[in-house]
Chains A and B, each alone.
Chain A
Amino acid sequence: MAERIATIASRVGLHARPAAIFAEAAGDQPLEVTIALEGEPIEDALDASSILSLMGLGAEYGTKVVLRAEGEGAEAILESLAGVLETDHDA
């Protein structure tokens, strides 16, 4: 399983607007991608394409999250999704 740690760059945290952008991007991927706060057990990982799960994470600016996916091209997919999280969408 591929893993990628990303740091939330939106100053307001992963709230509605940045969460919407990310959920849509995650939903467009051919693989199922999960997201969890860094250090949380893998069983607690949530569906990254669910805007409500993303908002429920309560990830603030600077919070580190872990993206995971399994399958062909997983690493490249996680890399591009991490890029979305590491952009400040409120700028």
Chain B
Amino acid sequence: MSESFAGVGVSAGRVIGPVRRMPDPIIAPADGAPLPAGVSIEEESARLAQATAAVAAGLKERSAAATGDAAAVLKATALMASDRTLLKSATKLVASGTNAESAIWEAAEAVAMQLTGLGGYMAERATDVLDVRSRIVAQLRGVPAPGIPDSDEPFVLCAVDLAPADTATLDPARVLALVTSDGGPQSHTAIIARSLGLPAIVAASGTTVLSDGDILFVDGIDGTVVRAPGAEEEALAQAYASRVALPEFSGSGALKDGYAVPLLANVGSGSDAQAAAAAGAQGVGLLRTEFCFLGRDTEPSHEEQVSAYKAVFDAFGGSKVVVRTLDAGADKPLPFLTDDSEPNPALGVRGYRTDGSVPGVLDRQLKAIAQAANGSDADVWTMAPMISTPAEAAAFAAMCKDAGLKTPGVMVEVPSAALLARQVCAEVDFASIGTNDLTQYTMAADRQLGALAALNDPWQPAVLHLIKATCDGGAAVESGPRPVGVCGEAAADPALAVVLVGLGVATLSMNRRALPAVAAILKTVDLPGAQRIAQLALNAASADDARNAVRNELPELDIFGL
């Protein structure tokens, strides 16, 4: 009999497939735990040798089936698993009375620390050693290896939540859909699902009971998961599979009446920017400069920054590129900039605020952006994250001017900036709304918490009212209207995109993969229509009501399976 579970749909699509559960992470064995009673040192050593050989063989097999870089990495990992020096030092520990799990754990720890000490590339390889260690311990315990499960047939991946490291190894050709029991609409799971175009449901708390082999219907549009689906679900999945293919994005976003809505891309590196340009993006609406900084203990040099930014500018010669200055803090800590002992980091020193605690980093970044901009023909705009007051906006504009940057702006993520948008915008040339954080702060709901997923929804009418306030404020600046864009996940939702344009948003910036869907749906309404639809959403009492009222007005969503 079929059984249904409710969650929050975060990436559209309807599919049916078998469940593979994400294995639980490997818990560290106790330090120096003794040999099990009645087991000899010889037996335990042999057990360890067998486990390492089995892990090496499994990795070697996968390496043979893979190609290119993946094959090389797997081969190197296989060699680590069967490494004689590692096995020797672990066996020595077994000989002194430690059990196999604790012995390999400790021996690999020493190797990883040695590699970390070397710094740079070798330090990154330390994670490979720790991964191999977890695999060997899993083998010894007889539990599944950690990480995305291996499977020959495509599957629905079920997990508590996914970390960025898990999603990096996610093969979209083998994963049909993602279902998590935790996580919210702005979690890493949601973001990766949208960027890979995989149907996904988060915060489906009942799904922890699902196990490997269960057949699931996943409806990423309305957020339901059905175990043992019947004919009705079969038909829905069929209809989705035979959906009308989206036309490619023409490279010029507009409503039905020709009202232009430039569609830009969110990018995080030079190669990302090239892919976005190839997908037709009309510019960059959000360049996340963290890519230059994350995972580093020290600030990158001026030259390093200039060349990283220039790689992005060069991909968009002649077009607009909006650079967001370093957004560290909260879920993106940096050792040289943020204080990780804050009790409440989302409300702490993050984004633009770090300029107060560690002055200099932002100044140097602005100089690097200015130099990269001078060497390219992109139209470079620069904005600061986490601006809360007109005074902060004015201070940032002055810093940009000093650095030689001509178009300063602010991100509107804090409700205070939305409410005072006229005064904030008067200090700068433009504003861009970060809907992920604006939602989190408006609803006072941590974006990573699955339990608050329903609150953490950009369709919440309160959030939409603040977006409207921001657009109205930008338009009311005495010295001339200031354009307001959106660069959060909301812009990538085609139905919500119509609402945003109706509220007065001038440009939408999104993951490049969302461009065709957003462009296709915008084309189905004219400006008065978008304004009327936006009003329906503003008048709604809940996020679901707003979403349903708007979807009813946009029949093309179903045709394209969005």
Chain A interface (Cβ < 8 Å from any Cβ of B): 12-13, 15-17, 19-20, 23-24, 46-47, 49-53, 55-56, 58
Contact = CB atoms under 8 A, between A and B. Distances in A.
Interface string B70-89: 00110110011001111000
Contacts of B79: 20, 23-24, 51
B84 A49 contact: yes
A24 B79 CA distance: 8
10 contacts: A16-B73, A16-B76, A20-B79, A46-B85, A52-B86, A52-B129, A55-B122, A55-B125, A56-B111, A56-B114
A15 B121 contact: yes
A74 B86 CA distance: 25
A49 B79 CA distance: 9
Contact of A15 (B83, B84, B125, B129): B125
B128 A16 contact: yes
A14 B73 CA distance: 14
Interface string B114-149: 110010011001001100000000000000000000
A52 B83 contact: yes
Nearest to B78: A20
A17 B124 CA distance: 13
Given A47-B85, A52-B80, A56-B118, 14 more contacts: A12-B121, A13-B121, A16-B76, A16-B128, A17-B72, A20-B76, A23-B79, A50-B84, A50-B86, A52-B83, A52-B129, A53-B83, A56-B111, A56-B114
A50 B114 CA distance: 15
A53 B129 CA distance: 12
B84 A19 contact: no
A48 B242 CA distance: 56
Closest 7 CB pairs of A and B: A50-B85, A20-B76, A51-B79, A16-B76, A58-B118, A52-B83, A53-B85
Contacts of B115: 55-56
Contacts of A17: 72, 76
Main secondary structure of the interface of B (DSSP, over half): helix
A56 B85 CA distance: 11
B92 to A, nearest CB: 14
A53 B111 CA distance: 8
Contacts of A23: 79
A15 B122 contact: yes
Q: Which of A12, A16, A20 has most chain B Cβ within 10 Å?
A: A16
Given A52-B111, A56-B115, A20 B75 contact: yes
Contacts of B129: 52
Interface string B53-84: 00000000000000000001101100110011
A16 B127 CA distance: 12
Nearest to A46: B85
Contacts of B125: 15-16, 55
A17 B128 CA distance: 13
Contact of A52 (B72, B85, B121): B85
A47 B76 CA distance: 16
Interface string B458-474: 00000000000000000
A17 B84 CA distance: 18
Contacts of B128: 16
A28 B301 CA distance: 44
Contacts of A20: 72, 75-76, 79
A44 to B, nearest CB: 13
Contacts of A19: 76
A47 B75 CA distance: 19
B450 to A, nearest CB: 36
Q: Which of A12, A23, A49, A50 has most chain B Cβ within 10 Å?
A: A50
B57 to A, nearest CB: 15
Given A13-B121, A55-B122, A55-B125, A50 B83 contact: yes
